[in-house]
Amino acid sequence: MSIAENIKTSIERASWIREMFEQGQHLKAIHGEDQVFDFSLGNPVIEPPSQVHEILIQLLQDDQKGTHRYMPNPGFPQTREFIAKELQEEFGLGFQTGDIVMCVGAGGGLNALFKALLNPDDEVLALAPYFVEYGFYAENHGGVLKIAETTETFQIDIDKIAQAMTPKTKIIVVNSPNNPTGVVYPQEAMDAIGQLLADKEKEYGHSIFLVSDEPYRQIIFDDLSNCNVFHSHPNSVMITSHSKDLALAGERIGFIAMHPEMEDRSDLQNALTLTTRILGYVNAPALMQRILPHLKGVRVSISAYQHLRDIFYQALTDFGFDVVKPQGAFYLFPKSPTADDVDFVKQAQEENILLVPGTGFGCPGYFRIAFCFTEDMIIRSFDGFEKLAKKFGLS
Ligand SMILES: Cc1ncc(COP(=O)(O)O)c(C=O)c1O
Domain range annotation of the chain: 5-48+300-391, 51-294
Closest alpha carbon to 360 in 36, 182, 133, 42: 133
Start-to-end C-alpha separation, the chain: 51
Q: How many angstroms separate the alpha carbon of residue 249 from the centre of ligand 1?
A: 9
In this predicted structure, the answer to whether residue 122 has a pLDDT above a threshold of 90 is yes
pLDDT band at 395 (very low <50, low <70, confident <90, very high): confident
| Section 276-287 average pLDDT | 98
Distance CA 179, CA 269 (A): 28
At residue 224, the pLDDT reads 97
Which of 127, 140, 243 has most ligand 1 atoms within 8 Å of its beta carbon, as the pocket-test mutant?
Answer: 243
> b/e per residue, 58-68, with b = 16+ CB within 10 A?
eeeeeeeeeee
Looking at per-residue confidence, does 28 or 54 come out higher? 54
Q: Is 106 in the pocket of ligand 1 (CB under 6 A)?
A: yes
At residue 73, the pLDDT reads 98
| Angle at CA of residue 175, ends 360 and 17, nearest 5° | 20
Do residues 356 and 362 lie in contact, with contact meaning Cβ atoms separated by under 8 Å?
Answer: no
Overall fold of domain 5-48+300-391: Aspartate Aminotransferase, domain 1 (3.90.1150)
In this predicted structure, the answer to whether residue 229 has a pLDDT above a threshold of 90 is yes
Q: How many angstroms separate the alpha carbon of residue 106 from the centre of ligand 1?
A: 6
| Section 86-114 average pLDDT | 98
Q: Is 241 in the pocket of ligand 1 (CB under 6 A)?
A: yes
Do residues 391 and 323 lie in contact, with contact meaning Cβ atoms separated by under 8 Å?
Answer: no
| Angle at CA of residue 100, ends 111 and 59, nearest 5° | 100
In this predicted structure, the answer to whether residue 18 has a pLDDT above a threshold of 80 is no
For β-strands 209-213 and 236-241, DSSP reports them as parallel
| Section 267-287 average pLDDT | 98
At residue 10, the pLDDT reads 84
Q: Is 240 in the pocket of ligand 1 (CB under 6 A)?
A: no
At residue 83, the pLDDT reads 98
Output the pTM of the full model.
0.96
Distance CA 49, CA 31 (A): 32
Closest alpha carbon to 262 in 249, 254, 253, 271: 271
The CATH number of the domain covering residues in 51-294: 3.40.640.10
Could you give the C-alpha distances from 79 to 83, 110, 214, 293, 294, in angstroms and in order?
6, 20, 19, 6, 10
Question: In this predicted model, what pLDDT tens digit does every residue of 319-331 receive, in sequence order?
Answer: 999 999 999 999 9
Q: Is 243 in the pocket of ligand 1 (CB under 6 A)?
A: yes
pLDDT band at 15 (very low <50, low <70, confident <90, very high): confident
- The answer to whether the Cα torsion of 46, 359, 130, 240 is positive or negative is negative
- For ligand 1, atom 7, the nearest C-alpha belongs to 106
Distance CA 259, CA 338 (A): 44
pLDDT band at 16 (very low <50, low <70, confident <90, very high): confident
Distance CA 124, CA 118 (A): 9
In this predicted structure, the answer to whether residue 182 has a pLDDT above a threshold of 80 is yes
- The pLDDT > 70 percentage for the chain reads 100
Which of 43, 104, 213, 292 has most ligand 1 atoms within 8 Å of its beta carbon, as the pocket-test mutant?
Answer: 213
- The DSSP line for 178-220 is PTTT-----HHHHHHHHHHHHHHHHHHTS--EEEEE-TTTT-B
In this predicted structure, the answer to whether residue 33 has a pLDDT above a threshold of 90 is no
Cα 141 to chain centroid distance, Å, stands at: 19
| Angle at CA of residue 225, ends 296 and 136, nearest 5° | 85
| Section 177-204 average pLDDT | 98
Q: Is 111 in the pocket of ligand 1 (CB under 6 A)?
A: no
For β-strands 367-370 and 356-357, DSSP reports them as antiparallel
In this predicted structure, the answer to whether residue 21 has a pLDDT above a threshold of 80 is no
Do residues 239 and 254 lie in contact, with contact meaning Cβ atoms separated by under 8 Å?
Answer: yes
Distance CA 302, CA 45 (A): 14
| Section 223-240 average pLDDT | 97
In this predicted structure, the answer to whether residue 253 has a pLDDT above a threshold of 80 is yes
At residue 17, the pLDDT reads 72
**Cα dihedral: 73, 79, 83, 84 (round 10):** 70
Closest ligand 1 atom to the C-alpha of 175?
Answer: 1
Contacts of 318 (CB under 8 A, 6+ apart): 395
In this predicted structure, the answer to whether residue 20 has a pLDDT above a threshold of 80 is no
Q: Is 213 in the pocket of ligand 1 (CB under 6 A)?
A: yes
At residue 25, the pLDDT reads 85
Phi, then psi, of 27 in degrees rounded to 5: -65, -40
Distance CA 285, CA 67 (A): 11
Contacts of 253 (CB under 8 A, 6+ apart): 102, 104, 105, 241, 242, 243, 284, 285, 288, 289, 292
In this predicted structure, the answer to whether residue 71 has a pLDDT above a threshold of 80 is yes
Closest ligand 1 atom to the C-alpha of 253?
Answer: 10
Which alpha helices (DSSP H) does the chain contain, by range?
Answer: 5-13, 15-31, 50-62, 77-91, 105-117, 133-140, 158-164, 187-204, 229-232, 265-278, 286-291, 302-318, 341-349, 375-391
Q: How many angstroms separate the alpha carbon of residue 170 from the centre of ligand 1?
A: 21
| Section 312-340 average pLDDT | 98
Mean of per-residue pLDDT scores for the chain? 96
At residue 290, the pLDDT reads 97
